[in-house]
Amino acid sequence: MLRKIIATSTAALALTASAALAQSENPMVGGAPMFADKTIVENAVNSADHTTLVAAVQAAGLVETLSGPGPFTVFAPTNAAFEKLQAGTVENLLKPENKEMLTKVLTCHVVSADAMSDAIKGMIDDDGGTHPVPTVGGCTLQATYDGDEIMLTDERGRTANVTIADVDQSNGVIHVIDEVLLPAM
């Protein structure tokens, strides 16, 4: 009986350690753990740094899409990135009559692929230092890197830095960025 209890306890401990190890591979984002077995939306709603992005995704009706199978790479601007926009821009985009423009802005942060930072750097190297990144919103971002930091430049010449890379999701990957990327208007 004692052996059975020890074997059961050992198995439970191994499972707990395995789950902790799997979770520890992902960085914390916005003070919250990010779980590789959850979707982009399931993880994003827990990040204190992405409440504006989550509200925008909800207003644009993209929750179901970004909860789908993907794969997606999402360049996720923080609340601070949204605050850098001209005063009133976010509030204006969140109005129902501006849903089409909001959707365009958000989908210019999404790529139909699961692209971890090493893969992005490899594509940049293959293309001689700059790699065009077509988004599902029809925008083309220009990816570059310096050391470990990946940068994305939008069609207006604004550059966002990836501040937290490789946040693995069940349906893709999130890279946290410090600017909102905008389409050419």
pLDDT (0 to 100) of residue 26: 87
Query: Rounded to two decimals, what is the model's pTM?
Result: 0.85
Domain-located, residue 50? yes
Express each pLDDT in 136-154 by its tens digit.
999 999 999 999 999 999 9
Q: Residue 114 is part of which domain span?
A: 28-177
Domain CATH for 41: 2.30.180.10
d(CA 96, CA 28): 32
Domain-located, residue 13? no
Domain-located, residue 46? yes
Domains in the chain, number: 1
Domain-located, residue 33? yes
Q: Are 156 and 54 in contact (CB under 8 A)?
A: no
pLDDT (0 to 100) of residue 41: 93
Express each pLDDT in 123-135 by its tens digit.
999 999 999 999 9
Domain-located, residue 84? yes
